[in-house]
Every structure is written in C-alpha cells, then in structure tokens.
C-alpha cells in the first residue's frame, strides 16, 4: 500500500471518465482539462528498472536513475494495492485521518491542480510523540510507502520520517515531491518545483493587463507586491515575463546592504527621470519578503519587540529614546500608518507582525514623501499617484499550465516507481526539462543532500535549505542586463491568459529556461 | 474624414500584417490574436443601406436599422478619407491633439483591446469655451464625423456635442459606442457595453482560484472587493460565474435600507452556520460601491464633512457630540482604522474620501468584532480569519474575450456606417446577441433616449442615466434563487483562464444571457 500526503493528484494512475457526473460543478475549461492525456517521459512509458547511479553533487545517497526493464511490471504495479490520501498533509498522518483514493475519487482532480482533493496543512512532524503517531499510522495501514508533496518544510518532514522509519526497521519508504509556487525548493537534480510555472503565468497575465491600463490612463504608478515568502523568484520571473519599469529583488537589496531610504531613492530617481520623458505612470514589482532583506528594518523590529515587551509606549514618544540612533531615524522615516501598525498589531507572543506590513503601500507613502521633498526643492514638478496591488492567493490554485501538469505527472509517476523499488529518503527528480517530455530524465535524489542545519528557537535543526535568487545566476543576470532599458523605455510585455492549446501552450518559464541554458 | 476618440480600435478597418515588426514587443498569445479575422453580422457583410425604423421605446430619434443596399459602397466607403484618433479622448478634441490612424498604426492593436492606442481620459465637455474648442477642432480637421467611445460620461459628451454641432449647422456627425467594464451603460437597444464580458471573466478566473485555495487550506474567509463604480453588475455576474458563499449587491442593500450592522450580521450569521457544518472558510464578494448604498453611512459622512470643515477634532472626542445620535452610534461601531481614515484622509476640498475606504477590510474587522462578541456570549466557538482582496485594474485591460472582440468589431463597423449616412446623436447598437454573430442586428439609438436630468453641483444637467442592477431582473432573480444553497453547500465553480479557441471560447456572460432570455 502506498499513500500520498498533501495535495497529490498527478501522481495517481489515470482514472476513467464518469460522464455527466461533473456537468453541474465543473466549468467547461475544467472539463476539457480532465480529458487530456498527459505525455510521459519515454523512460517511464516503456519497461524500466531502478539502478543506483553516480554519487550526487552533494553528500548523501546516490542519485537513482530509472531505465528500461519491464513494461508489464509498470502496468501492473499498483494492481491489488490501496492508495490513501492523508487529509491536511502531516496532520492526517499524525491523526490517521485519511480517505481511500479510488479511481473515481481521483478522477475529478485530474489536471486541475487538485490542491483541494485532500487539502493541505503546515504542521511539522518534530517531537518524539509526533513521530510515534506517524509510525502508528504507517503500521496500522500497513503502508509500503508514503509520498510527501510540498515545499521545504514538507520535504524536511519527508526526510526525517524516512530516517525515522528506517531507524525503526519499518518497511514504509518515504519519497518527497517538490511543490511550491515560491520556486525556492530546487537544486541541480530538482530543477524546479511544480506550481511555480502556473503561478508566475497567472501573475504575469495580471501584470501585463495593469501595464496596458497604466499606459492607457497615463496617471498611476502601480506598486505590485507579489507572493513568494522569503525568496524573490516569483518577482524575478514575472519581471522577465513582463518587463516592468522597476523591480526590487530582495536578495540584491540584502547583498548591497540597502536601506529603506536607498530603495525609496532608487524608485524615486527613476520616477523623476521618467517624468522628464513625459511618463507619469509605470509599473513596479516588489517581492513579498522585501522587508526581511533590509538589515536596518530587522534591527528596528528586534528593538521594538524588546521595548514593547517591557515598557509603556507613552504618547509623548519618550519611549523612542530607548531605540538606537539608526533605528530611531528609521522609525521617524516611516509613514505614520506603518508606525502605528508596528506599535499596535502584534502576534499572540507580543511580537510585531512583519508579514502584515503592506510593503507596497509603505513604499508608495515613502515615495510620496520623497517626491514632495524634491518638489519643495524645485527638482521635480510633476504629479505622483500610486496604486497598490497584492497578487497572491489567486495565483496559488489556478488550473495548472501544461508544463506544470506534465512535470507533476512525471514526478508522481517517478515517486510511485521509486517506492515500488523500495527506495526511501529520496525526492522525486525529473530532469532535462528543456527537451520534449519524452526525453525527460527520471530519478530520485537523496533528501539529505538538500538538508542544512539551521538554528531555530535556540536549537539546531536539520532543515531543507531554501534556494534563494542567485545574483550570479542566469535569470538575475538577464534581468540586470535589461532593467535600465525597461526603466525608461516602456517595454511592457503582456503574456495574456494561460492557454492550454496552441503554439505557446507548452512554453516553460524564463527562470527554468535560463537556468537550464546556463547549465547546458 | 471620420475620427474616433478614446480607445477605439475594433472600429477601424482591417490592416495588413507587418511581419516581424512586433516580434520583440508582443507575446505569442497577443500575436496569435492579431491574426484572427473576426466575423461580422451578415447585414454588414453584404450590401446594406440605412433606414429609419420604428420609434424607439424611449422618446427621441427613431432607432435606425441597417439593411442590405450596396456591397461595393461598403467596401469603398473609407477610400480617400482620413481617420484621426484624439489623444486622451475629450481632452484631445478640445486641445486638437491627435494622431492619424493609418493601417500600419492601427494594426498592432487589433483584437488586443487597444485601450492604450490613443489612451483614455475622463474630461467632460461642458462649458461654452469647451464646446467652442471642440468646434474649432472639427472645423480645422474638416471632420465629417466623430466616434466617441466610453461609458455614461463619454456618451453624455457625445450627445451634447451632437446637439451642439447640429445647432451650429456644422457637418460633423457624432456617434457614441458603449464601452465600460462596469456594465452600467445599457438599455433595450444596447444590451451591454464592451469590456464587461472580459473583465468579469478575468475576475471570475481569479475568484475561482481563490475558492480552490480556500477549500484547500480550510482556514480563511476571502473578502473580495470587485471594481465597478456605483452599480453591482460585475459583482453579480462574478457570483453567477463562480457561486461564492456570500455576495453583497449594493442595490439590494439600498432597497432594503440595510445598515452596516445588518450587513455585518448577515455575513456573520452565515459564517456561524458554516462553522456548524465544519467549514471555517469561504469566499465573499463585495461591490466597490457598497458604501454608497448604505444611507446611514452617507449621513455620517455628510455630518463629518460639515464638522471637519468648521470644528477642531479634539483628542477627547468632544467633537463627536456634534454628530446626530444614529451617526454617533455608527461611528463608534466602525473599526479604529476606518475611524482614523475618515478623519485624516481628505480630498483637496476637505471632504472625506469615501472611495479610499477599503470596504473589504472594514467588513473583515466588523465581522471579527461581531464574531468575538458571539464568542464571549458563548454562541460561537470557532476561529475566524479574513483575507482581503481588491480585484480591479487587472481586469480592465485584458485581451478581449471572443465575445467582446466580436461585439466591439460590429459596434465600430456600425458606427462607421451610421456616420457615412450622415446620422448623428446616435449610439451604435448591436442586438440579438444570443444568436450567432451573422444573425446579430445592427443599428443606432438616439442618445437622447438614454438621457436623464440630474442635479449636480447645484445645477440641473442632462446626463446618461446609469443602469443599476434591477432586483426584478433575470440575473438578480437567478442569483437570489441560488444564494442560500451556495452559502452553506460549497458549490464553487472555477471558470479557469479565458480561452480563445475551443468549445467555450465564444460563451457570453450570464447577465447578458439571462437578460436576453427574459426579453425573448
């Protein structure tokens, strides 16, 4: 018996259509997607066996390659076995809440993303009690294997579960699959995570539309904050797809040790130059995690947390004297609304809620102040009007792009094969993604090779390292070579809505294309 | 010579492709749209002439029908004439800033929306000086006709300009075309405005995605505010397309004389009932103009404007005694952030900026307060987490849906024909939209028949009346018959991204379909 967790669906063998059943709950586009047969890499279509390959670039288990062995074996491999889905991911494993994934149950989720099939959760399996619960579930259901689908946290779970089951001599193998729109789970053997391609295409459609609107009305600067947690991959990819006037990449801000003031000045300088060219409009992309990349902001927040925990915040502002000089200056620079947000909105532990800060609105207000200053000084005489946007949840659950559907299908198929051959502690790995699907390579990579040790809550913990935007990587270098041109000349590029048929339906994103090209 | 204003493009005759020219600035989806030949109503494909038809339902000029006359005439009708585009719409007419719309100039905007071709503007032509400027432009360029493309304000401009030119015995005819995403410019002869179909499909895609996300993560109520100015057509259409748990329709709130408290209670009641069924998530649609439909809010704002203009707002809140009792109660009911927004953010005239109030966030906070109250009373023991969204600008400039492209093309073609026959003061009217394009009817309707007299700034002015959501209309009745089912059972419907080819590519929106059905 094998069990996927989280929001798997592409990994499940093809089901039979049940005509009419979905007529009233599915849109026509959804229904048309249900009926699509996805291509498989040739290595999985014909007979194959699993062999241990050369050692991976990182330490740990060797990479495993799937090669031709036995066609019948593949066709028959799930015969008689039962597939369970654990509800809400890790929580389902620990509480043993699951649903049997029959062909009929799975069918409506084919090529739909399927994020809502068994739903998702952010629980971690960390304590001895939690591992014990997982063991009990695996024993009770007599699991041969477990497929964990998710980002860095989920695959950390997968790695620790695999080690744990192996340590207890349990038969349950564990295989991870890379799923996150953030694009921050990747390495040489796992070139991308599924979801990233779809989310970026949805956001890029919206950004392209806003660009046309900006040019038509000619009076707004659109500040678009994009989802993506810590890393700026989504923002970078959307920039490559749409050519905005200004794009802030968090990793660059950190590397250059930029301040909030210097980011504001950078934006304002371009706005002023554009005004000279007659453009009082534009589009600016900002990564969700920006604020975390600015060292002085982190320092201010640490000091605020300390002060708010122990002192009274008096109306006269005497409390500000407790801030260090640089933090005090920064606090005074912030717009009033942000100051209040920092002081008033706290999480249950009393800490400032950084994630709640609407960076796009904060930057609009800071640019307004800077523009007004320049107006007073006589160096700027145009208007400035900002419009704020946050593009987030609407990109996480779209119908998968053809690339994501194909990639996910291959990943899931590979995960099944790895389990079948008794492999454990691996992440499903599909490579050569720049080639046609039939030429994709398929294998598994040791999850331990992705692990790093991080200090969290005062303890050292093994976790999967987030892949950040590399400033010497091909995607950033491409962007950096274009951005000055995009800043002053309007090179807006509008990808339009995701299409499932037609010449461009199988295009893959720029980030992956450039990274594959740089590697080739 | 004929001249369109605003963002026309579909109304211009087909241009020749200039291969390669757009290779670097256009996405593949855009390029594929460029090459599409749009169908025309049969009446426009063959020979036709223009005849005065039976009197329209409203007073004013009779409806004009286009019928077969002379094919050659149609083909040759723009030979030797020049087409100008006035930049920024009315401003371009008044300032005589224009561009010649050659075949090559227009080509890249074919089937793209073209909102950025000559750009748009919100200026009004009202004063004698402004009419004089328009006359000078018409004379200087020797205009035979002028096509005005836009919503109620633009078509009011068109009507007044037509009357003015006619009054001065000028030869320039004026024809209007209905363009607004808001869907509030319509009547029997003009069943919809172009842009509405595309915008609603884009928003519905995003709402469908958020629904899948809501169900997957199971922990958020998504409050989605939708663009659409005063009327709630977009919100109603998106509800019909996606089946959200709760939808607020401004016109119903006004008709029922609801208060902010009763809207909050309505939402909270459903949230509580859903919690009993195990659902701590959901999707709620809110029209942009909601706040304008609540009488008590209007009253509070009027009083605040008066007080803020003349009195000091003291910290102790003594100023609140100047509010009437009901307004005082409402003010105290508002979340602190909204109270501050009302007091602090004013427009250049010192008035409270109602449009800046983020209604979706206000409602989240009010529901939070109500939920907390019920928790204290012991009638509710679940969590409530709101996520706010505003879907606006990203829906205004998308690639047009096939329906919008076809409709716009027929409207523009009709406008050209009406001008050719010397007709003036009409709005281009294409009907029978539920039938295949070849069977659409084509004509013009007197703009005066859409006019009403409104009191603005203390004066009576003739303006085109906004078409609001009718509570006894077919779209609202359909919604009202379904909403209780949608509230408690999750009937989420995900339309997916707009497709340009395939079986559903030519579908039209529910509002139009239901209105046509009710009329048939």
Closest partner residue to B116 among A27, A215, A393, by Cβ?
Answer: A215
Residue with more model confidence, B65 or B31: B31
Residue A5 pairs with which residues in a beta bridge? A86
How big is chain A, counted in residues?
520
- A residues 115-134 closer than 8 Å to B (CB): 115-116, 119-120
Q: Which residues of A are catalytic?
A: 182
**CA A511 to chain centroid:** 13
* Per-residue pLDDT at B9: 31
Report pLDDT digits (tens) over A268-325: 999 999 999 999 999 999 999 898 899 899 899 889 988 888 877 787 888 898 999 9
HEC-encoded secondary structure of A201-270? HHHHHHHHHHHHHHHHHCCCEEEEEECCCCCCHHHHHHHHHHCCCEECCHHHHHHCCCCHHHHHHHHHHH
Segment A17-37 mean pLDDT = 68
> Which residues in chain B have Cβ-Cβ distances shorter than 8 Å to A202?
209, 497
Query: Considering just the CA atoms, what is the radius of gyration of chain A in Å?
Result: 25
Cβ-based neighbours of B433, under 8 Å, separated by 6 or more: B191, B192, B407, B440, B508, B512, B516
A252 labelled as ligand-binding?
A: no
Looking at the complex, report in whole angstroms how far the Cα of residue B80 sits from the nearest Cα belonging to chain A: 29
For residue A487, the Cα-to-chain-centroid distance in whole angstroms is 26
The H or E element that residue A198 is part of is helix A196-217
Q: Which residue has the higher pLDDT, B137 or B24?
A: B137
Interface test with chain B among A85, A116, A392, by most B beta carbons within 10 Å: A116
Residue A219: per-residue pLDDT: 94
Nearest to A399 among B28, B216, B497 (CB): B497
Q: Which residue of B has its CA nearest to A501?
A: B501
Of A333-342, A463-472, B7-16, the range with the lowest mean pLDDT is B7-16
Mean pLDDT, chain A, whole residue set: 86
For B50-108, how does the pLDDT look when each residue is reduced to its tens digit (9 = 90+)? 666 554 443 333 344 443 333 333 344 566 778 889 999 899 999 999 999 888 888 88
The answer to whether the Cβ–Cβ distance between A496 and B222 falls below 8 Å is: no
B8: helix, strand or coil: coil
The predicted structure's pLDDT at residue B113: 86
**A88 and B CB contact within 8 Å:** yes
Q: Provide DSSP, A76-103.
A: HTTTT--BEEETTTHHHHHHT-EEE--H
The answer to whether the CB atoms of A393 and B395 lie below 8 A apart is no
Whether A493 and B120 lie within 8 Å, measured CB to CB: no
Strand pairing report for A246-247 and A282-287? parallel
Beta carbons of B394 and A389 less than 8 Å apart? yes
pLDDT at A7 over 90: no
Is residue B459 over pLDDT 80? no
Residue B10 has pLDDT above 60, yes or no: no
Q: Is A482 annotated as a binding residue?
A: no
Q: What percent of chain B has pLDDT over 90?
A: 59
d(CA A422, CA A162): 12
Considering B7, B153, B182, B404, which one is annotated as catalytic? B182
Tell which B residues from 20 to 79 touch A, by Cβ distance under 8 Å.
25-30, 32-33
Instruction: Judge whether A493 is closer than 8 Å to chain B, CB to CB.
Output: yes
Question: Which residues are CB-contacts of B329 (< 8 A; sequence separation ≥ 6)?
Answer: none
3-state SS class at B145: strand
* A&B contacts, CB < 8 Å: 162
pLDDT for B426: 96
- Looking at CA atoms only, how far is residue B284 from chain A in angstroms? 14
Question: Which is more confident, A176 or B8?
Answer: A176
* pLDDT of amino acid B72: 36
Q: Please tell me which of A414-418, B195-199, B462-466 the model is most confident about, judged by mean pLDDT.
A: B195-199
Q: Percentage of residues in chain B with pLDDT exceeding 70?
A: 88
Mean pLDDT of chain B: 86
pLDDT for the residue B70: 30
Contact B213 A33 (CB under 8 A): no
Confidence of residue B48 (pLDDT cuts 50, 70, 90): low
A147-200 pLDDT, tens digit each = 999 999 999 999 999 999 999 999 999 999 999 999 999 999 999 999 999 999
The arithmetic mean of pLDDT across residues A106-122, rounded, is 87
Q: Can you spell out the DSSP letters for A391-452?
A: E-GGGTSSPPPHHHHHHHHHHHHHHHHHHHTT--SEEEEEE-TTS-GGG-EEEEEEGGGGEE
Average pLDDT over residues A68-77: 39
Task: Find how far residue B321's CA is from the centre of its chain.
Answer: 40
Cβ neighbour number for residue A185 with a 10 Å cutoff:
28
pLDDT at B79: 66
CB contacts of B207 in chain A (<8 Å) are: 394
Tell me the average pLDDT across A116-137.
93
In this prediction, residue A58 carries a pLDDT of 38
The DSSP bridge pattern shows strands B64-67 and B49-52 to be antiparallel
Higher pLDDT, A461 or B391: B391
Lowest mean pLDDT among A40-44, A385-389, B1-5: B1-5
- Whole-angstrom CA distances from A389 to A203, A225, B398 are 11, 6, 16
> CB-CB: which of B120, B206, B507 is closest to A394?
B206
Rounded mean pLDDT, B478-501: 94
Return the minimum-mean-pLDDT range out of A445-449, A498-502, B154-158, B163-167: A498-502
Convert the pLDDT of each residue in B108-145 to its tens digit. 888 888 888 899 888 889 999 999 999 999 999 999 89
pLDDT at A14 over 50: no
End-to-end CA distance of chain A: 39
Stretch 397-436 of chain A: residues touching chain B, C-beta under 8 Å: 397-399
Q: What is the mean pLDDT of residues B461-465?
A: 88
Residue A71 has pLDDT above 50, yes or no: no
**Which chain B residue has its CA at the smallest distance from A25's CA?**
B493
C-alpha angle B209/B213/B217, rounded to 5°? 180
**Chain A residue whose CA is closest to B498:** A497
Residue A57: pLDDT band (50, 70, 90) is very low
CA separation for the pair A38, A40 (Å, rounded): 7
pLDDT at A77: 59
């Amino acid at each position: 018996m094998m069990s996927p967790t989280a929001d798997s669906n592409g990994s499940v063998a093809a089901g039979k259509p049940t005509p009419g059943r979905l007529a009233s709950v599915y849109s026509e586009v959804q229904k048309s997607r249900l009926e699509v047969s996805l291509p498989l890499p040739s290595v999985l279509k014909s007979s194959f066996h699993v062999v241990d390959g050369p050692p991976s670039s990182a330490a740990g288990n060797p990479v495993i390659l799937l090669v031709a062995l036995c066609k019948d074996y593949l066709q028959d491999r799930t015969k008689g076995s039962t597939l369970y889905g654990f509800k809400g991911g890790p929580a389902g494993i620990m509480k043993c809440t699951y649903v049997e994934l029959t062909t009929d149950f799975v069918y409506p989720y084919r090529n739909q993303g399927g994020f809502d099939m068994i739903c998702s959760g952010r629980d971690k399996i960390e304590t001895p009690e939690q591992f014990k619960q997982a063991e009990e579930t695996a024993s009770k259901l007599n699991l041969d294997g477990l497929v964990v689908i998710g980002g860095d946290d989920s695959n950390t779970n997968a790695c620790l579960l695999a080690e744990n089951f192996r340590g207890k001599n349990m038969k349950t193998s564990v295989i991870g699959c890379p799923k996150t729109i953030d694009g921050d789970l990747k390495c040489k053997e796992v070139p991308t995570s599924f979801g990233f391609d779809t989310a970026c295409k949805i956001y890029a459609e919206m950004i392209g539309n806003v660009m046309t609107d900006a040019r038509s009305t000619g009076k707004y600067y659109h500040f678009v904050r994009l989802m993506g947690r810590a890393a700026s991959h989504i923002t970078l990819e959307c920039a490559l797809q749409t050519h905005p006037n200004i794009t802030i990449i968090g990793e660059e801000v950190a590397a250059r040790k930029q301040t909030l003031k210097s980011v504001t000045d950078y934006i304002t300088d371009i706005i002023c130059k554009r005004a000279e060219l007659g453009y009082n409009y534009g589009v600016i992309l900002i990564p969700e995690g920006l604020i975390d990349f600015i060292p002085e902001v982190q320092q201010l927040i640490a000091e605020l947390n300390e002060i708010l925990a122990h002192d009274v915040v008096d109306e006269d502002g005497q409390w500000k004297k407790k801030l260090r000089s640089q933090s005090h200056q920064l606090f005074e620079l912030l717009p009033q609304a942000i100051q209040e947000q920092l002081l008033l909105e706290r999480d249950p532990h009393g800490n400032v809620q950084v994630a709640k800060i609407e960076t796009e609105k904060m930057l609009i207000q800071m640019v307004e102040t800077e523009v007004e200053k320049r107006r007073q000084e006589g160096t700027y005489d145009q208007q400035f009007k900002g419009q704020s946007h946050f593009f987030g949840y609407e990109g996480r659950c779209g119908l998968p792009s053809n690339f994501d559907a194909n990639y996910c299908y291959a990943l899931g198929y590979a995960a099944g094969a790895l389990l079948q051959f008794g492999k454990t502690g691996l992440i499903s790995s599909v490579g050569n993604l720049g080639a046609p699907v039939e030429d994709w390579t398929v294998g598994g990579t040791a999850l331990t090779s992705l692990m790093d040790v991080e200090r969290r809550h005062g303890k050292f913990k093994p976790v999967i390292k987030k892949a950040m935007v590399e400033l010497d990587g091909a995607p950033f270098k491409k962007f950096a070579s274009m951005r000055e041109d995009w800043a002053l000349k309007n090179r807006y590029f509008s990808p339009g809505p995701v299409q499932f048929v037609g010449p461009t339906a199988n295009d893959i994103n720029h980030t992956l294309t450039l990274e594959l090209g740089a590697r080739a």
